[in-house]
Chain A
Amino acid sequence: DAGVIQSPRHEVTEMGQEVTLRCKPISGHNSLFWYRQTMMRGLELLIYFNNNVPIDDSGMPEDRFSAKMPNASFSTLKIQPSEPRDSAVYFCASSFGPANEQFFGPGTRLTVL
Chain B
Amino acid sequence: KQEVTQIPAALSVPEGENLVLNCSFTDSAIYNLQWFRQDPGKGLTSLLLIQSSQREQTSGRLNASLDKSSGRSTLYIAASQPGDSATYLCAVRPNDYKLSFGAGTTVTVRA
Q: Which A positions have Cβ atoms within 8 angstroms of B?
A: 4, 31, 33, 42-43, 45, 48, 50, 55-56, 91, 93, 98-107, 109
A43, B43: Cβ atoms under 8 Å?
no
The dominant DSSP class at the A interface is strand
Contact of B49 with A by CB under 8 A? yes
Contact of B93 with A by CB under 8 A? yes
Bound-state CA distance A99–B103 (Å) is: 21
Q: How many A-B residue pairs have CB under 8 A?
A: 48
A31, B97: Cβ atoms under 8 Å?
yes
B31, A104: Cβ atoms under 8 Å?
no
B31, A99: Cβ atoms under 8 Å?
yes
| B44 proximity list for chain A (CB < 8 A) | 91, 93, 104
Q: Which B positions have Cβ atoms within 8 angstroms of A?
A: 31-32, 34, 36, 41-46, 49, 89, 91, 93, 96-99, 101-104
Bound-state CA distance A60–B62 (Å) is: 35
A107, B97: Cβ atoms under 8 Å?
no
Would you give the shortest CB distance from A80 to chain B, in whole angstroms?
25
Contacts known (A91-B43, A102-B34); A43 close to B96, Cβ less than 8 A: no
Report which of A4, A56, A104, A109 forms a contact with B97, defined as CB distance below 8 A.
A56
Bound-state CA distance A42–B89 (Å) is: 10
Report which of B41, B45, B93, B102 forms a contact with A104, defined as CB distance below 8 A.
B45
A98, B99: Cβ atoms under 8 Å?
no
Q: Which of B36, B43, B99, B103 has the most CB of A within 10 A?
A: B43
| A100 proximity list for chain B (CB < 8 A) | 49
